Structure 1
Amino acid sequence: MKQLKKESTQKSKSFFEGNSWYHRTKTLQEDGSVKYGKKGGFATSNEADKSYDKCEAEFKKAFRAYQLAHQVNTEVMLKDYLIYWFEDVFSQRVESTTRMVGAYAIYNLILPNLEYDIKLKYVNADYLDTLLVQVAKISASAGNKGREILNLALKEAVITRYIKTNPVTATKPYKREKPKIIVLSKERVKRLLKAASKSNWYLEILLGLFCGLRKGEIMGLKFSDFDFEKNTVYINRQIASDPKIKKGSGSKIDEYGLVEREPKTPNSFRTLRVPGIVMEELKKRRYLVERNKLKLGSQYSDKDYISCQENGKLHSMTALNNALTKLCSRNSLPHITVHGLRHMYATVLIEMEVPLVKISALLGHSSVHTTFEYYCDVMDENEHILAFMNNAFVPVETDEVA
């Protein structure tokens, strides 16, 4: 039984009882009281000591969370509050991609630039302005994103009565970086589509250019979403990244996955008329998919996606943009992304003098204000944008827009 004896004479957190080593435990109850006990079954005192340290750390973390959740105007430090708010409040109610962005803002932008930590109740606009000046130096969008996440955190602090007012509202605003809109000329569009027609991504590129769909919406389309008689498509889902971040690991991503979700906003549920050229290409894709099903049999993952690998599984989130990058590079065209195709779709509608409210509905924006923010510069240009779509490029009737 030598393995059960004390390894050293130094003070231990464990004790020997019966046939094994034990250590004391503390468990925080829902009412804030502490329940004491013991945990045994360890072969050595070192094992028991390590278990004690782990249990003690967990108790302290739980106790800190309880204090923050139940005490008003505590002496909590800003850093501790931000970590608690992000891990135990914000992360519990948002999707994984939003959590990933929030994790980056907290752990990579804000916390590393806290030159000195202060109690939450003493945080004011001057303190936050000094912090955000440092944050804004990191990238063009860092100031805006840092201020946005601080506003969410301290707004919650007001609701839970840790502070009386939100100091972020009095800080200097940072402009959101406007998207750079590239509109190809008629000849360049022809060159792009000619090259794309020889690739495996022709249908996806047509859906971006002729229907203004987001990348995730294109990836989420299924053959059952199309009405082949009316030549329409119902947008009712998107594919999104599903990054896995373990709690307490900062912004480190353990693994990536893909997940089906509802569209970006309630207004993104919509029915669109699909140009004939797109429907013809869709029929070709359906034939290809059916051929792959017969070829692979039970090895084919049949989820009815129109954009998928040969085995039916989804492409990666970067695959379509990577394909577009290669097409543009090989054909001496300006670099354009799937979202760039969507911007081109919108600018053509503007040139055709389609009402802004209808453009907003076609794009699935949350509001007309969003559409105006993105495209006000385009609408104010003196020179008209070249119209390059044929008669098939006609916006859907109002009663067909969800």
Structure 2
Amino acid sequence: MSRRGENIYKRKDGRWEGRYIKARNEEGKIVYGYVYGRKYTAVKQRLAELKVRYITSYGSLKIYEGTLEQWLWFWLNGPMRGRIKVSTYSSYQLRIRKYILPFLGQIKLIDLRTAEIQEFITYLEELHISSSSIRSILTVLKSALNQAVTDNHLLKNPCQNIVLKKNDAQEVRALTREEQRWLEKVSLKEPNCSAVLLALYTGMRIGEISGLKWSDIDFDNKRIAVNRTLYRTNAVEKGRKTQVIIDSPKTKSSKRMIPIAGNLKGYLLEKRKKSTSEYVISCRGSYAEPRLINYRFKKLLIGTELTSIHFHMLRHTFATRCIEQGVDIVTVSKLLGHSSTKMTLDVYADSMWENRMEAITRIDRQLESD
């Protein structure tokens, strides 16, 4: 029999059972927690600790009875749907379906623990997924669970304090000057405007080049406005596998102005005279999507020793040439549309080695002259 007000009972198996109010479900009904022990005093002490803990912290928690899978789809198609771009929605959907659900999907939201998420990270590492991809998957999970905390379904986010490996070092390969000269020579022979030359002399991303219109180029003031990006992504609507999206740049820093070099200006003016499309790089009077630009690029390289290079290397080449000419890292970062100079430094640290050596040499000469 229980002592008055204690909620501690003697069970038939000889153990003592203590009961406390753990939380309330979405209907407001009480959810009880239990503690067991062979000794009455041990159960009483543990029960007192739990009562204090749950009265101060969990007392108003609204228990979500569904699984993590159910919560993720609610979060993605509810709170997040109107706040993210179609491309972001598509990538979140892919990470949830391909990685998170097979391992964690059937666990109840309220039962999800940090240890299980750490096991999930280990599982992803064993699949040889890059550390940057693992971080992006965890970002989706963490964001969804933050919403659960905000909605009072969880006291804290179990993704906190998760240990991740450092990001893989990014290997940047730029074209040599000789390779660039050859590629420019071949590209100049193209009848229509070349995406290759735009990438080499502006550092624009392939999607930005794909969405570039003649109206974005201010020839009088010698500058290009990066106002949109074009990409193909997984279709959100049923019945379609993929869809082309034309949208504003993903980040504020990606929407930028890029000065036009004199030679590039002359080249673009000449191509504009012959163009019948509003898009600078066109196909049948309309835009040329990134995969078509990539196809044309690979076709250009057939029969050469450069078949191993990819289009994004042209952006790296532009940045590397800037650094070689002593352009400061802040300016390079702005030209590339990076969100921070740290990102630029992380990617192009090796490219800047010669500049750093030159700086040390200058300091050494100054000391000798003094």
TM-score bracket relative to the smaller structure: 0.7 to 0.9
Do the aligned partners of residues 237 and 340 (structure 1) sit closer, same or farther apart at CA in structure 2, a change above 3 Å counting? same
Q: State how 1:277-296 maps to structure 2 within 5 Å.
A: 277-290=263-276
**Counterpart AA for 1:82:** L
Tell me the equivalent position of 1:337. 310
Do the aligned partners of residues 137 and 277 (structure 1) sit closer, same or farther apart at CA in structure 2, a change above 3 Å counting? farther
**Following TM superposition, by how much is the alpha carbon of 1:370 offset from its aligned partner in structure 2, in angstroms?**
2.1
Q: State how 1:1-400 maps to structure 2 within 5 Å.
A: 72-114=62-104, 117-138=106-127, 139-140=129-130, 141-200=132-191, 203-241=194-232, 243-246=234-237, 254-290=240-276, 304-310=278-284, 312-333=285-306, 335-380=308-353
**Following TM superposition, by how much is the alpha carbon of 1:308 offset from its aligned partner in structure 2, in angstroms?**
0.9
CA contact (8 A) 1:183 1:344 kept: yes
**Counterpart AA for 2:124:** V
Which structure 1 residue ranges, 4+ long, deviate > 6 Å from structure 2? 381-385
**Counterpart AA for 2:126:** K
CA contact (8 A) 1:182 1:340 kept: yes
Do the aligned partners of residues 91 and 150 (structure 1) sit closer, same or farther apart at CA in structure 2, a change above 3 Å counting? same
**Counterpart AA for 2:123:** Q
TM-score of the superposition, structure 2-length normalised? 0.72
CA contact (8 A) 2:256 2:337 kept: yes
**Following TM superposition, by how much is the alpha carbon of 1:102 offset from its aligned partner in structure 2, in angstroms?**
0.8
C-alpha distance in 2, partners of 1:137/1:163? Answer: 29
Tell me the SS of whatever aligns to 1:324: helix
C-alpha distance in 2, partners of 1:322/1:161? Answer: 50
CA contact (8 A) 2:67 2:109 kept: yes
* Deviation sequence 1:191-214 (CA, Å, 0-9, x none): 212222233565311111111111
**Counterpart AA for 1:113:** F
Tell me the SS of whatever aligns to 2:282: coil
Of all paired residues, the percent bearing the same amino acid is: 28
C-alpha distance in 2, partners of 1:112/1:161? Answer: 26
CA contact (8 A) 2:324 2:355 kept: no
Tell me the SS of whatever aligns to 1:284: helix
* Deviation sequence 1:43-92 (CA, Å, 0-9, x none): xxxxxxxxxxxxxxxxxxxxxxxxxxxx8232332222223222333334
* Deviation sequence 1:143-170 (CA, Å, 0-9, x none): 2232121111111111111111112121
Do the aligned partners of residues 329 and 148 (structure 1) sit closer, same or farther apart at CA in structure 2, a change above 3 Å counting? farther
Tell me the SS of whatever aligns to 1:206: helix
TM-score of the superposition, structure 1-length normalised? 0.67
* Deviation sequence 1:124-158 (CA, Å, 0-9, x none): 22110111222233332542232121111111111
CA contact (8 A) 2:211 2:228 kept: yes
**Following TM superposition, by how much is the alpha carbon of 1:381 offset from its aligned partner in structure 2, in angstroms?**
6.4
C-alpha distance in 2, partners of 1:346/1:373? Answer: 13
**Following TM superposition, by how much is the alpha carbon of 1:314 offset from its aligned partner in structure 2, in angstroms?**
1.3
Tell me the SS of whatever aligns to 2:107: coil
> Unaligned regions of 5+ residues in structure 2, if any?
1-26, 28-60, 359-370
Tell me the SS of whatever aligns to 1:305: coil
What is the number of residues matched between the two proteins? 298
Cα RMSD for the two superposed structures: 2.8
**Counterpart AA for 1:268:** S
